Amino acid sequence: MNRNLLFIITVVFISLSLNAQISDIEPKEHFFSFSYKSLYKKISIQRDSSKLEWYLKAYLNKAIKETNPKETVNAYKNYLHYSKPKHRLQYADSMILSAVKYKDTLLIGKSYLTKGIVYYSDKNYKKALDHFIISKKLIYHLGATYTNHKIEYNIAQVKYYLGYYEEAQEIFTKCLNFFKIKDIQQAYVNSLHYLALCQNRLHNYGLSLETNSRGMELDKKINQNKLQSHFKLLKGINYYYVNNYKMSIELLRQVLPEFVKKNDFPNISVCQYYIGKNYWELNQNKKAIPHLAAVDSIFNNTGYINPNLSPAYKLVINYYETQGQPENRLYYVDQLLKVDSILKTTYTYLSKKINDSKTYTTKQLIVEKQTIEEQLKQEKRQQNLGRWIISITLFAILVLILNHYRMQVKYRKRFKALMDLNTPEEKNKKKAPKVKTPPGIKQKTVREILEKLETFEKTHKFLEKDISVSGLAESIKTNHRYVSEIISYHKGKNFVAYINELRINYIINRLKEDKLLREYKISYLADLAGFNNDRHFSNAFHKVSHIWPSYFISQLKNQSE
C-alpha cells in the first residue's frame, strides 16, 4: 500500500515537472481547430523543434480539455517518441498515471507495454519483462487482439535474448502470420527479422538466409532501408556459419560504421565478435584479437554482454596462453569470471519470470520480488563479508611484508656486528678476565679452573661431541659443581649455553676466514662444530648471533662477490 502511494506521488511529481516544462511554450493559435489526426500528422512531419513543441503541447491540451483518456495517453506517448532517451521513462510514467486516473484497464495495460518497450530499448531486460507481464495480465482477457500480439512479440524478444529460441520462433511465427493477415507491414518486417535470428540460433542457416532476404526486400519497399544494417548484420553472421568467412568479414565491415554512428553498442559488439571469429577461422589470430577484445571494451564501458559473446574471452585467453603473456591471460580470466557472474544473475532472474508469465498474478510477483530482494540482500552481505576478508588478508600480507623488511634490516645490522666482532683470542689479549670468587670456593681454585678453561677454549676441546660438565670436570681434575658454578659466575650462562656459544663463535670465525667452507651444507657445519644434528646447530646459531646460519653464509658470499 505504501509503495503504491509512493509510486503515485512520484509519478504525479514527474508529471507536474513535465507539464511545467511543456508549458514554457504555449500554442499561439487555438488548438481546438485541429483534429487529433491532423495534429499527429503535423507532429510526425515536423522538423522545426519549436514548432514540434507547439504541436505536441496542442495535442496534450486538447486531450486534457476534452477529458479524452485515450488521446491524453497518446499525447504523452507522442512526447515520449520525440524526447531524449533520458526523459522517455518519465513520459511513460505520465502515460500510466493518466490511464490510472481514467480507470481504463486497456490503456493502463498499453501504457505498461510502452514503458516495457522503453526499458527493452535501454537493454534493461529485467524491468522490460516485468512490465510486459503486467501488461499481459491486464489486457489478455479484454479481446485486444493486436495489443495481445504486440505483447507476445515483446515477450518473444526477451525469450530470444534468454536463449529460448524454439519458443521465441513459435511466437514470432504466430505474430508474423497475424501481422501479415492484418497487413501491419512494419510489425511484419520486424517479425521476419527476429524469426531469421531464431532460425540462425537453431542452426537453420539456409532458412535464416532465406527469411532474412525476404525481410531485406520488404524493408526496402516500405521502410526506405530502415533496417538494412540489421539484416546485413544477420546475413554476415549466417555467412560465418556456412564457412564463407571472407564474405562475412566484408558484410560486417560494411555495417559496423553504421552501428558506430548510432552508438548501437550491442550490435557493435556483435559485429566485432564475428569479425574476430572469421579471422580466427582463417588462422589469422593476430588480426582476430583486437576485434574479440572489443567485446570486453564495450562490456567495461557500457556493461553490455550476452551469452553468445562470452566465447570471445575464451579465445583471447587461449591466444595469450600460446603467446606466453600471463598478465593479459589473467586479466581476461578475471573478466570472464565477472561476465559469467553477471550472466548467471541476470538469466536466473529472467528465466524464472518468463517461465511464470502464463500464470502471472500480482501476489506471485510480490512474493517473487521479495524473494529476489532477499537474495540480493544476502548476496550483498556475502559480498561485504568477502570484502572484509580480502581487506584483512591484504592487511596481514602488508604486516608480513613490513615485518620481513624490519627483520632484514635487523639481520643486516647483526651481520655487520658479527663481522666487526673480534675473535675470542683477541678479546682475551686485550682484557684479561677479572677473577671473582663464587661463594664456598677458594680463590686459588677459581683461578686454576679459569686457566684450565682458557686452555680448553684455545685448544677447541669444546668441539668434541657429547661433551658434558662431568666430562670437562674430570679432564681438568676437579669436580663438576665447581666447574658449573664458576662458568655460571664468570661466563654469565649455564654450561650448555657456554659450550654452544664457543662452538658458534668458532664456526663464525671459520666462515669469515675460509671461503671454501661456505660452500658446505649446514649439516656438515653442524658436525664440524660438535652438534648432533643441523636443527640443533641452526637454533644455537640463531640464539647466539640472532640470525640464521643460511643468512649469514649468503651475506658472506654476497660480500665477497
Q: Looking at per-residue confidence, does 439 or 423 come out higher?
A: 439
> What is the pLDDT averaged over residues 514-519?
87
- The cell numbers describing 32, all together, are 481546438
Q: Are 176 and 397 in contact (CB under 8 A)?
A: no
| Mean pLDDT lowest among 5-19, 89-103, 232-246 | 5-19
pLDDT at 40 over 90: no
Query: What confidence category does residue 370 fall into, taking pLDDT thresholds of 50, 70 and 90?
Result: very low
Q: Which of 44-53, 314-323, 387-396, 435-444 has the highest mean pLDDT?
A: 314-323
DSSP string, 441-479: S-HHHHHHHHHHHHHHHHTTGGGSTT--HHHHHHHTTS-
Mean pLDDT of the chain, nearest integer: 82
> What is the pLDDT averaged over residues 64-80?
90
Count the Cβ atoms, other than its own, within 10 Å of residue 324: 8
Percent of the chain with pLDDT over 90: 34
pLDDT of residue 374: 53
- The cell numbers describing 426, all together, are 683477541
Q: Are 311 and 282 in contact (CB under 8 A)?
A: no
pLDDT of residue 30: 57
pLDDT of residue 529: 87
CA atoms of 89 and 104, how far apart (whole Å): 20
Q: Looking at per-residue confidence, does 431 or 275 come out higher?
A: 275
Percent of the chain with pLDDT over 70: 84
pLDDT of residue 330: 86
What sign does the dihedral 58-64-66-70 (CA atoms) show? positive
pLDDT at 33 over 80: no
pLDDT at 1 over 80: no
Query: What confidence category does residue 129 fall into, taking pLDDT thresholds of 50, 70 and 90?
Result: confident
For residue 184, the number of C-alpha atoms closer than 13 Å in the C-beta half-sphere is: 15
Task: Check residue 560 and report its DSSP letter.
Answer: H
CA atoms of 555 and 442, how far apart (whole Å): 47
> What is the pLDDT averaged over residues 330-346?
85
pLDDT of residue 337: 87
Alpha-carbon radius of gyration of the chain = 43
Query: What confidence category does residue 368 fall into, taking pLDDT thresholds of 50, 70 and 90?
Result: very low
Residues 6+ apart with CB under 8 A from 525: 507, 511, 517, 534, 537, 549
Q: Which of 163-172, 195-204, 482-491 has the highest mean pLDDT?
A: 195-204
Summarised one tens digit per residue, pLDDT across range 187-233 is 999 999 999 999 999 999 999 999 999 999 998 888 777 889 999 99
Q: Are 127 and 98 in contact (CB under 8 A)?
A: no
Query: What confidence category does residue 437 fall into, taking pLDDT thresholds of 50, 70 and 90?
Result: low
Statement: the pTM of the whole predicted model exceeds 0.75 = no
CA atoms of 13 and 32, how far apart (whole Å): 28
| Mean pLDDT lowest among 39-48, 255-264, 414-423 | 414-423
pLDDT at 25 over 70: no
Query: What confidence category does residue 423 fall into, taking pLDDT thresholds of 50, 70 and 90?
Result: low
Task: Check residue 309 and report its DSSP letter.
Answer: G
Query: What confidence category does residue 301 fall into, taking pLDDT thresholds of 50, 70 and 90?
Result: very high
pLDDT of residue 146: 86
| Mean pLDDT lowest among 11-20, 274-283, 386-395, 474-483 | 11-20
Q: How far is C-alpha 281 from the chain's CA centre?
A: 29
Question: Which CA distances in Å does 371 have to 180, 379, 506?
Answer: 42, 12, 75
pLDDT of residue 134: 92
pLDDT at 544 over 80: yes
Nearest one of 117, 140, 176 to 357, comparing CA atoms: 140
Residues 6+ apart with CB under 8 A from 174: 149, 152
pLDDT at 332 over 80: yes
CA atoms of 333 and 316, how far apart (whole Å): 9
Query: What confidence category does residue 386 fall into, taking pLDDT thresholds of 50, 70 and 90?
Result: confident
pLDDT at 557 over 90: no
CA atoms of 93 and 71, how far apart (whole Å): 15
| Mean pLDDT lowest among 259-263, 369-373, 519-523, 533-537 | 369-373
Long-range contacts of 365-372 (CB under 8 A, 24+ apart): 365/130, 365/133, 365/134
CA atoms of 291 and 303, how far apart (whole Å): 17
Query: What confidence category does residue 417 fall into, taking pLDDT thresholds of 50, 70 and 90?
Result: confident
Residues 6+ apart with CB under 8 A from 52: 43, 46, 82
Residues 6+ apart with CB under 8 A from 479: 473
Count the Cβ atoms, other than its own, within 10 Å of residue 173: 14
Query: What confidence category does residue 295 fall into, taking pLDDT thresholds of 50, 70 and 90?
Result: very high
